[in-house]
Chains A and B, each alone.
Chain A
Amino acid sequence: MSETDNAPRPSEDSADLTIEMRSVHKWYGQFHVLKDINLAVTRGERIVICGPSGSGKSTMIRCINRLEEHQQGQIIVDGTELTDDVKHIDQVRKEVGMVFQHFNLFPHLTVLENCCLAPIWVRKMPRREAEAVAMEYLEKVKIPEQARKYPGQLSGGQQQRVAIARSLCMNPHIMLFDEPTSALDPEMIKEVLDTMIELAESGMTMLCVTHEMGFAKTVANRVIFMDAGEIIEENEPHEFFNNPQSDRTKLFLSQILQH
């Protein structure tokens, strides 16, 4: 690969494209998890990714901040191509926030410290300023009063909202959500979804792996359906739910929407 291919691309190349995946393939050992994924995400787009478990949807969004390595194809995030180059990876991770199924808050740090950590150590922000930013986002997710507590003292829904605030403190352009409500009690799902809806309204680019079809209907610009490592179908939500094209999608929708 030539020098120029590796270097960050000039932004005019991808006017308002923010994520570009070009025929991405990935294997776990012999197992082919991602098969020829092509995806272009424009700035401010809100994409919901659904599909049966093991279909590669989590793996796909985890490739976007290089928590998983792809073996073939290209992934370009904000003009930076993801390669083995650590500088590029760090560059992308600074701009891409991620929220996990199991929150993954740091249990030995208070809520406030969880939020300040990356701005202080990665962005080199002075502590005072970082704390102010953190409090601002904790207010946005409506739990400023929990700032001095430890994650273990909060409910699941509160923890997930802290996790969202923690990502936002890095001021990312893109937010990835990996099944953010799957580990929550039914009563707590709504508070997290409300936070996510608010975030969507603010114009954030969001990629969200979720089984919350109601969320997909109200928030998404586009719904992507994956199965067996492939993108089977993508469409805007109304069309996707009312007029699915492929048999596989129809089957999936009939199974999740029956109850």
Chain B
Amino acid sequence: MTVHTPHPDLPPPTLSVGVLGWLRSNLFSSPLHTLLSLFAIYLVYLTVPPIISWVFLDSTWVGDTREACSGTTGACWVFVKVRMNQFMYGFFPESEYWRINLAFGLLIVLAIPLFIKKFQHKGKLAIFILVFYPIITFQLFSGGNFGLTPVETSKWGGLSLTLILAGVGIVASLPIGIVLALGRRSEMPIVRSVCVVFIEFWRGVPLITVLFMSSVMLPLFLPEGTNFDKLLRAMIGIALFQSAYMAEVVRGGLAAIPKGQYEAAEALGLSYWKSMGLIILPQALKLVIPGIVNTFIALFKDTTLVLIIGLFDLLAIIQQAFADPDWLGFSIEGYVFAASIFWIFCFSMSRYSMALEKKLHTGHAR
């Protein structure tokens, strides 16, 4: 009888691993790749150092007036610094800034336990955040009760307005989208047609049109004397518009769930809503996290369009600051600032979605 002895593992050749191996396989694997790599390095050399010196090295950070920036070749961040309050809070009365701070601070404090693994009551807390937190925030922003001075929505603005629009849009569009997606796959013809018409209508019109309709046309159709808030109308418009997109994303996820999952849930005696809620949706939503977050990011950036109906979100309020005769000619700084804020929020959402995908992955093949 022969005995099989396994061959011992040998170390790999030196040039295939480590820094050298990486460089060789990724940058200099062929003459063409070498040429392209060198060209790319040259481009980086051309662009990155000037940007760094404009943003950091040659820029001005201290001072309160335009004069502080005279004579520098870099960015004048003093402009952003002086206007910072307006960029964050819009035209909210300065004495009431604490209310906005409190609202966002409260959200952060409430959200922290959601990220603590051992915390037991995540579901209850999430319901509290979704149901009661918006009421508290609304009270804090608009005032009028509990001895708070009323602040009209036209005074809301800046980053806080952007976050409110995006937050309401995100929180409303996901559930509406899920219901629409389920409706579109329903076997009941009336439910299905209503959902199809709704989705196709909202997907077929540009968001700008929706916002215009909501602010200019809608009041013409409403009976005289009914007046509801412009901001509210914009929120509803954004939420319905994005929910149509969300519905299609979710529908993609639903279609990807094998028929066997529906059958197994049915065979166990689960009702339609239970099998959707416990079996199908958790899997479908997990599959389409990238698509959902994609829609959220698009929504976040689309909130800038409210500018055209006279609401001053972050971008609008920054643009409005360019017109200040004391600070003419600092639009680049303003736009760079706006872009970085948007980028930070969108990038965080993107990273969060990747972390979530990883966390929810249960190692199943199908």
Number of interface residues, chain B, beta carbon within 8 A = 24
Known: A100-B260, A106-B264. A118 touches B282 (CB 8 A): no
Give every chain B residue within 8 A of A222 (Cβ-Cβ). none
The docked-state distance in angstroms from the alpha carbon of A96 to that of B268 is 8
Kindly state whether residue A65 has any CB partner on chain B within 8 Å.
Answer: yes
Instruction: Give the residue of A98, A106, A151, A153 whose beta carbon is less than 8 angstroms from that of B267.
Output: A98
A87-128 at interface with B (beta carbon < 8 Å): 90, 93-94, 96-98, 100, 102, 104-108, 117-118, 121-122
A93 touches B363 (CB 8 A): no
- Chain B interface helix/strand/loop/mixed: helix
A122 touches B267 (CB 8 A): no
From B76-84, B121-129, B194-202, B271-279, the one touching the partner chain is B271-279
A90 touches B269 (CB 8 A): yes
Give every chain B residue within 8 A of A100 (Cβ-Cβ). 260, 263-264, 267
Give every chain B residue within 8 A of A108 (Cβ-Cβ). 282-283, 286, 360, 362, 364
Residue in chain B with minimal CB distance to A97: B267
Give every chain A residue within 8 A of B108 (Cβ-Cβ). none
Kindly state whether residue A241 has any CB partner on chain B within 8 Å.
Answer: no
Kindly state whether residue B365 has any CB partner on chain A within 8 Å.
Answer: yes
Central interface residue in A104, A121, A150, by most chain B CB within 10 Å: A104
Known: A106-B261, A108-B286, A121-B278. A152 touches B268 (CB 8 A): no
Known: A90-B269, A108-B282. A150 touches B264 (CB 8 A): no
Report the minimal beta-carbon distance from A79 to chain B, rounded to whole angstroms.
17
A166 touches B263 (CB 8 A): no
Report the minimal beta-carbon distance from B267 to chain A, rounded to whole angstroms.
4
Known: A100-B260, A102-B260, A104-B261. A170 touches B364 (CB 8 A): no
Residues 151-193 of A, flagged 1 when their CB comes within 8 A of B and 0 if not, give: 1110000000000001100100000000000000000000000
B53-79 at interface with A (beta carbon < 8 Å): none
Kindly state whether residue A67 has any CB partner on chain B within 8 Å.
Answer: yes
A118 touches B364 (CB 8 A): no
Kindly state whether residue B266 has any CB partner on chain A within 8 Å.
Answer: yes
Known: A107-B362, A152-B365. A118 touches B263 (CB 8 A): no
The docked-state distance in angstroms from the alpha carbon of A182 to that of B265 is 21
Kindly state whether residue B366 has any CB partner on chain A within 8 Å.
Answer: yes
Give every chain B residue within 8 A of A150 (Cβ-Cβ). 362-364
Per CB-CB distance, the 8 closest pairs between chain A and chain B, nearest first, are A152-B364, A107-B364, A104-B264, A104-B260, A93-B269, A118-B268, A98-B267, A150-B362
List 8 other contacts, CB 8 Å, given A102-B260, A107-B283, A117-B268.
Answer: A65-B266, A67-B263, A90-B269, A106-B264, A118-B270, A121-B270, A122-B268, A152-B365
Residue pairs across A and B with Cβ atoms less than 8 A apart, 27 shown, are: A67-B263, A67-B267, A90-B269, A93-B269, A94-B269, A98-B264, A98-B267, A100-B264, A102-B258, A104-B258, A104-B260, A104-B264, A106-B261, A106-B265, A106-B279, A106-B283, A107-B362, A108-B283, A108-B362, A117-B268, A117-B278, A150-B363, A151-B364, A152-B363, A153-B363, A167-B267, A170-B269
